[in-house]
Amino acid sequence: MGRAIATAFAAAGHPTTVWNRTPGKGNDLDATHAETAADAIAASPFVVVCVMNYEAVRSVLDTDALKGRTLLNLTGGSPQQAREMAEWAAGHGIDYLDGVILNGVVGGPEAALLYSGPDEIYQEHQGDLAALGENGTYVGEDPGRAAGFNMSLLDLFWTSMFGVVHAFRLAAAENVGPAEFGGYAKVMAGMLPDLIDLVGEHVSTGHFPGDASTIASAAAILDDLVDTVRANGLDDGVLSAGRSAVRRAIDAGHAEAGFSRLAVL
């Protein structure tokens, strides 16, 4: 992502200085190349870092060079890591914003970025941030809030992806080919946007009607599904964990509530 970030700043007319841990990487960028990370930091009051993880962030940053500057960290990580990084920055006299790139796109209308940290710092650098994408959104003072959004969305994405690959395995075990299965899978996946809206409404109102389907009915379906998975010798870990959550909800007296009740248990 570093290349995309540097390209976006340069394309927006911002004088850009870059440094990479791999010498020579990005030499074709329309930017000044610094010999060290400290040199790159010293070139601007606004510093952006995007590396593998927070440990790498700490390893490349020069605290003396950063003092009195603003650091935007676009490295993915947990909300707690973002909060700890903000504390570290404050302790070294560094203004700090944490950010996430939601869809792997930087620059232009397709980019979707979230930022969190002190509002006055965000407001001060809105002109800089606009270069990264028109749809950047400030989500609050808590420096871990952007990462909280991101981890929640990644929870949705990766849980769904495990479901996709597992479903293809089960289909194959039942002699259903991938081309034949894929079309029906997309039909079922097409239900999810409306279900996301419905669950959000139920969680917001605290009302979980079971008029369409109940947790008890979900339990019966899950029993059949887990039995089928096991009969085909496939891993049932994820589904069994879900079935256990359903069982706990029933034991707690929520059998006739809607499935969305699980979002607040």
Last residue of a domain, one of 93, 125, 148: 148
What 3-state class would DSSP assign to 233? coil
Q: Please give the pLDDT value at position 23.
A: 76
> For residue 72, what is the enclosing H or E element?
strand 70-73
Pairwise CA distance, residues 128 & 154, whole Å: 27
Number of domains in the chain: 2
Q: Please give the pLDDT value at position 22.
A: 80
> For residue 164, what is the enclosing H or E element?
helix 145-173
Same domain, 144 and 207: no
In a domain, 185, yes or no: no
For the record, the structure tokens of 123 come out as 């407001």
Q: Please give the pLDDT value at position 21.
A: 81
Can you list the alpha helix ranges (DSSP code H) found in 97-144? 119-124, 126-129
Q: Please give the pLDDT value at position 205.
A: 98
Same domain, 24 and 142: yes
In a domain, 135, yes or no: yes
Q: Please give the pLDDT value at position 186.
A: 97
Nearest Cα to Cα of residue 97 among 84, 112, 108, 82 = 82
pTM of the model: 0.91
Per-residue pLDDT of the chain in tens (265 residues, 90 and over written 9): 888 999 999 999 999 999 988 877 767 888 999 999 999 999 999 999 999 999 999 999 999 999 999 999 999 999 999 999 999 999 999 999 999 999 989 998 899 999 999 999 999 999 999 999 988 999 999 999 999 999 999 999 999 999 999 999 999 999 999 999 999 999 999 999 999 999 999 999 999 999 989 999 999 999 999 999 999 999 999 999 999 999 999 999 999 999 999 999 9
Using the Cα atoms of residue 236, residue 237, residue 238 and residue 239 in order, give the sign of their dihedral.
Answer: positive
Task: Describe the crossing of helices 145-173 and 237-251 by its angle, rounded to 10 degrees.
Answer: 110
Same domain, 72 and 141: yes
DSSP 107: S
132 lies in which domain range?
2-148
Same domain, 143 and 227: no
For residue 175, CA distances in Å to 62, 112, 139, 179, 181 come to: 58, 40, 47, 12, 10
